[in-house]
Chain A
Amino acid sequence: MTISIVLADDHPVLRRGIRTLFEAEPDFCVVGEAADGLEAIRLVERMKPDVLVLDLMMPGLSGLELLRIVPQRSPQTRVVVVSMHGNNAFIAEALKNGAIGYVLKGCAEEEIIKAVHEAAAGRRFLSPPVTQIALDAYIEQAKAGPFDPHETLTPREREVLQLAAEGKTGPEIAARLHISQRTVENHRANLMRKLALENQSELVRHALRHGLISLEE
């Protein structure tokens, strides 16, 4: 069975190279070529190809944008991304937005043909050196971490927070830390902002929660 393909790449040389490559494959049928994102979406809509081979970096609509639109216009079309960018961020982003295959430009020719076949069959293909493991690690990393604003405080700010939570006044803190009262007020303002605290009672609550002070005392 023939796999209908639309090529979308703004570089004519690369496009011709891929087309030449695909024409050698008997079950591949290139039904259209687009030089920018808008043209590509029109072609996909009209031709409803099995596979869209897409460069991520294109004028007009960007590749990532296109990825999100294609399923609405042609649900059966699978997208294989061909990109210069080999880093996980792009790959993860492309996959997240609906690409099924990701092939680096400059990899072996057979990689891309394999990717199209896999895509047509509904299977994911990532060209080496991209691996699913690295990709999973990346995706994990890219998620927002469990990260407590408290750790952003500088050592000095932690000292000021501690003393302020213990109920010391500005002058007392300044005397204890051998810094000027004005510096104390600066630190205090900075830490309140970093911790998104509004007033002294919130400051005390924060200190309690972090075990800086305890109710037993």
Chain B
Amino acid sequence: MTTELELHSEERFREIVELMPAAVYVCDMNGSIQQFNRKAVELWGREPYADEDVRFCGAIQHLRLDGSIIPRDELPIAETIRNGKPVRNQELLIERADGSRVVVMINVAPLRNAEGVLVGAINCFLDVTDRHQAEERLRQSERRLAEAQQVAHIGSWERDLRTNQVIWSDELYRLFGVREHEIDLSYEQFLNRLVPEEVDRARKLVTEAIRERRPFSVDYRIIRADGSIRVLHDRGSVILNEQGAPIRLVGTCQDVTERREAEQELQRQKVILQTIFDNIPVMISFVDASSRVQMVNRHWERVLGWSLEDAQSRDLLLEAYPDPADRARVIEYTLHPTPEWTDFKVRVHDGRTLDTIWSLIVLPDGTRIGLGQDITERKRAEDALQQSEERLFLAIHAADLGIFENDHQTNILYWSPMLRAILGWGAQEAASLEVYFRLTHPADRDRIVAAVYQALGPMSDGQYRVEHRVVRPDGGIRWISVWSRTSFEGGGDARRPLRTVGIVAEITERKQAEQTLRRGDDRIRSIIDAIPVMAWSVQLDGIIDFLNQRWTDYAGLSLEQYLEEPTRPIHPEDIPRVFEKWRAQMAAGEGYEDEMRLRRHDGQYRWFLVRTEPLRDEQGDIVKWYGVSTDIDDRKRAEQAVKQSQQLLHTVLTTLPVGVLVTNREADVILGNPAYKQIWGDIIILGRERRAQSKGFWHDSGKRIDSESWASARALSQGQTSLNELIDIETFDGRQKTIQNSAAPIRNSEGSIIGAVVVNEDVSERVSAESALRKSERILREAEKLGHTGSWEHDLVTGEIFNTEENLRLFFGDNRSKRARFEDYVDAIHPDDRPIVQGRHAQLLAEGGPRDIEFRVVWPDGSVHILFGRATVVRDDTGRATRIYGTNVDITERKQAEQALQNLSRRLLAVQEEERRHLARELHDEVGQLLTGLRLLLKPIGNYPTEVGQSKLEQAQAIVDKLLEKVRGLSFDLRPAALDQLGLIPALLELVDNYTRQTGVLVSFKHKNAENRFAPEVETTAYRIVQEALTNVARHAGVGGVTVRVWATPDLLSVQIEDRGRGFDPEGVLATSRSSGVAGMRERVTLLDGQLTIDSRPGDGTQITAELPLGRSTKEEKP
């Protein structure tokens, strides 16, 4: 059968076995090696033809894993040849020709011929030394892990995803405060130990991690068996099987309660700061040492009109201070800042110029905090603003970036302090491209040099973005990420780089994290890496015999280096204290715990908590010391940050010009700044008592504010943010003030209210000024109303029109719908006057024409009013008109009075002329004729005989009598002497007498209490009215009788003329201006402020009554 084997398949068999990665050989029934492949020769380290015994195997010697020797006859293949049974996966050691040993795993199969008779055996074996060693290391690691965990209070766990069974390390039991037998180890049991509200979150997070097959890290609170609550930091990894399905979770737990508390306190401080920052009506900006604006608050943005992005991307200095002198002053102030408030005129985004005051605080790290107030518009308070946590984070993150700038023309390279810190390059040492290349890790150098020259080359788009390692002068290796952009001048071959600006971020931790992830398949490594502690052990003689990877990574020292100088990583200041304590504890055989600073590979010191525990044998003797160092730098930093933050808060609050008070949930005062104390009279009363004792009244209603209505109370109870409520207060020292009161709740990261910030601004002076202003405005308004004067202002820049109420009334009457637009005013102007007004307006703007104008306006109700306007143009320094200010007066009544006066005098003239014409006619026609006749009679009288002369004389005497009669009548018509000499009643009696004689109309004249004298104008008026009325009766009434009544009371003289004649329509008569008789009566009466009543209807008689006031007249008798 062997023959057959050889005959049929020997060649093919050879080919196959030569190709196999495993070592293969065949033995016959005697154990002599018949065939073998090259791999077998490699493992044996020789050809199996040596003189020595090579039965069953080509190796020099064979051992079991425990080191005992296996005789060749007892080798597995010898067994198989004896009993025909195969051997599977058996491991043993073989000693090779050069004496080295390897672990092999063997598989032996019997060889039979066609008849099934055993003819030999074949052995396949593999070198499994590496795996074997790894398993050995694992066992060691596990042991050390357990020891380390115990010392560092870190527990580890493992969860079988199929059974949900959980394995805990001893330390984890201790963390939960339970003994091993007290807890049923299942995942659900673990969840029961969590604070109930965190169960869902923890479960969800872990489920997601399993689904996505990624490591996770989570904080949760647990309830220990003794009821206390601790915060655990849990990191876990998912272990997959060969098919990539999750089968197990492994992880570690660390008690981070203290650190979290410190972090929370820091967070709380941040929230308080942020709340203040967002709510105070003060502009705040944070500018870092390199003059980059890190953060500005919303008030800053609102007042100045620029956003944070503007502040970061534009040169606002130039825009905000266009005047070079102002700008120089600002720069000078920035270089030598003072916390004193300093005035600056700022031109803001929309072009307005504001008066502002600024105070600059410089923090030890070079950050400048600018506090600013807009004193131009102090009245307006700021809305509460929300700055997102993310932006804060980004700003802080951004500050860790290094910056460089390369001016290619001068070859000056600038590296920012942060960049120098990243590269470990001293502040004073020169920076150059060569230095950059030199610092670049040798393995990356070629690539980087090529990339730099490519970015600066003529074909470049100017972008440069690389990630590479640098080797710092102190030997530390860092990963950095570099972004830069180069600007060029010229084109083609002549294209030359001008300037390169770039930023550098350190990404070492990210790279390490990436590498850690890459190693994630190794369960052991993942656990070890997951331990956030450095572990080590020391022999009794003080020689350190173990340092974990984290330790060597951290210190950047190998075990050998460390052994040379064990104190090297410890901060020199800490060494004496640490060693004294360490020796004392060692001598006492006790565990040891201390905090100290340990130097990192990059030279930076971080705080660690170092713990050691003795390891004892069964007799209780110490055989070794184990130690762990836990990085507590974050906690230390958090504590320091809390302190710094408190200090910052204090500095800001002390400087703020507004009162700020911070209370906790119970309304106890935690913090109050000096401005607050000043407002309330230097006394701050704590707790709820404060509100009960604070006397406040709503400014609008004057009602007392009860303790639950204060803005701070509402902030705490309802989470309400109140802004700028105007309140009158009585301070604790008894003064009256008006304040603007704002309050906002402070929330923790879960959103629940943990306190309130109250902001008070003393606005007493402003309010009293405003009240005075309102008063003066009211007086102006009343004055304008009384004087029918309105004023207006037209802002030519904004187009805004300001009008006093009275001016609106002048233009639109009581209609309130129109007033808003400039066109409304134009529309109101009488169409005929519009060109004049507009022409004058343009003229006024151009060169300042006449300031006065008269024009008509048509009210919405259609009535026309005449306005007298006067305007002034206000111009800026360049002569550009910015505003027009003007006043208007309604002169309609004056105009009408003027018109009436004109009408009156015109009629007066007409009447006068008529009287003269009448007199002239009388004198000429009557008197003149009579005198002429008289002359003719008398001239020749001496020539006549006596009797004829006598007759002529008698004729002449008759003519003279007629003349006398005529002149007397003329005189009476013109002005009855009786009126002046005797008074109203005698004059009227004479009038009535003459009237009856001339017209035949009988007059019934009645008078009462009117016999005394009255003021001449009153008597004249009464007389003329009676005269006119009687004339009308004779002309129009068509009656034979009329009644005249005259009577007086102490206040009034009344005359009344009544007839039963035809009557007339008074309205119609008055409407026709020709009837000057009635109109004349009315005018006379009006002149004396009297009242004329005409009661008449056609066919129903007429009754005219004139009532003349006697107020001003005296009843003196006039001669």
Contacts and interface: CB of A to CB of B under 8 A. Distances in A.
A183 to B, nearest CB: 12
Interface centre among A57, A87, A144, A149 (most CB of B within 10 A): A87
A152 B964 contact: no
A64 B1005 CA distance: 25
Interface residues of B, number: 35
Q: Which of A64, A84, A144 neighbours the largest number of chain B CB atoms within 10 Å of its CB? A: A144
Interface stretch (B418-426, B824-832, B869-877, B980-988): B980-988
Interface string B989-1001: 1100110000000
B1054 A141 contact: no
A93 B1117 CA distance: 14
Contacts of B1105: 152, 154
Interface string A133-149: 00000100110110101
Interface in B319-342: none
A98 to B, nearest CB: 15
B954 interface: no
Interface string A60-81: 0110110000000000000000
B1054 A145 contact: no
Interface in B1066-1119: 1093, 1095, 1100, 1103, 1105, 1107, 1119
B14 to A, nearest CB: 139
B267 to A, nearest CB: 78
A141 B960 contact: no
A90 interface: yes
Nearest to A151: B1045
B989 A89 contact: yes
Interface residues of A, number: 33
A92 B964 CA distance: 21
Contacts of A89: 978, 982, 986-987, 989-990
A190 interface: yes
A106 B962 CA distance: 10
B981 A87 contact: no
B1008 A144 contact: yes
B563 interface: no
A147 B1047 contact: yes
Given A145-B1007, A147-B1007, A154 B1119 contact: no
A65 B1047 CA distance: 26
B989 A149 contact: no
A196 interface: yes
A194 interface: yes
Contacts of B192: none
B982 A155 contact: no
A93 B1006 contact: no
B1093 A190 contact: yes
Given A61-B1119, A64-B1119, A145 B978 contact: no
A190 to B, nearest CB: 7
Contacts of B1011: 144
A51 interface: no
A170 interface: no
Contacts of A105: 964
B769 interface: no
A106 B1010 CA distance: 34
A86 B981 CA distance: 14
B961 interface: yes
A145 B1006 CA distance: 6
A91 B1119 CA distance: 16
Contacts of A4: none
A56 interface: yes
Contacts of A151: 1045
Interface string B1053-1070: 010100000000000000
Contacts of B1008: 144-145, 147, 149
A90 B971 CA distance: 15
Centre residue among A61, A84, A106, A152 by max chain B CB count within 10 A: A152
Given A56-B981, A93-B982, A87 B1045 contact: no
A84 B968 contact: yes
B776 interface: no
Contacts of B987: 89
Interface string A110-122: 0000000000000
Given A89-B989, A106-B964, A145-B1007, A152 B1047 contact: yes
Contact of A155 (B960, B977, B993, B1095): B1095
Contacts of B1095: 154-156
A155 B1105 CA distance: 13
A85 interface: yes
Interface string B441-480: 0000000000000000000000000000000000000000
B1009 interface: yes
Contact of B977 (A57, A61, A142, A190): A57
A88 interface: yes
B291 interface: no
A62 B981 contact: yes
A193 B985 CA distance: 23
B393 to A, nearest CB: 78
Contacts of B1056: 152
Given A61-B1119, A194-B1054, A154 B1103 contact: yes
Nearest to A107: B961
Contacts of B432: none
B196 to A, nearest CB: 80
A145 B993 CA distance: 17
Contacts of B964: 84, 105-106
Contacts of B986: 89-90, 92-93, 142
Interface in A94-129: 105-106
B977 A85 contact: yes
Contacts of A90: 977-978, 981-982, 986
Contacts of A152: 1045, 1047, 1054, 1056, 1105
A152 B985 CA distance: 18
Contacts of A155: 1095, 1100, 1103
A64 B1107 CA distance: 30
Nearest to B1101: A155
Contact of B1009 (A65, A87, A138, A144): A144
Given A138-B989, A141-B989, A144-B1007, A62 B1119 contact: yes
B978 A87 contact: yes
Contacts of A84: 964, 968
B1049 interface: yes
A88 B981 contact: no
B969 to A, nearest CB: 11
Contacts of A144: 1007-1011
B989 A64 contact: no
A64 B1105 CA distance: 32
Interface in A140-176: 141-142, 144-145, 147, 149, 151-152, 154-156
B41 to A, nearest CB: 139
A146 to B, nearest CB: 8
A87 B965 CA distance: 12
Nearest to A157: B1095
Contacts of B994: 87
A155 B1063 CA distance: 13
Given A145-B1008, A152-B1047, A64 B993 contact: no
11 contacts: A57-B977, A62-B1119, A84-B968, A89-B989, A92-B986, A93-B981, A106-B961, A145-B1005, A155-B1100, A190-B1093, A193-B1107
Given A90-B977, A154-B1095, 16 more contacts: A62-B1119, A64-B1119, A84-B968, A86-B968, A88-B993, A89-B989, A90-B978, A90-B981, A93-B982, A93-B986, A138-B989, A142-B986, A142-B989, A144-B1009, A145-B1006, A147-B1047
The 3 closest A-B pairs by CB, nearest first: A89-B986, A154-B1095, A147-B1006
Interface of B: 960-961, 964, 968, 977-978, 981-982, 985-987, 989-990, 993-994, 1005-1011, 1045, 1047, 1049, 1052, 1054, 1056, 1093, 1095, 1100, 1103, 1105, 1107, 1119
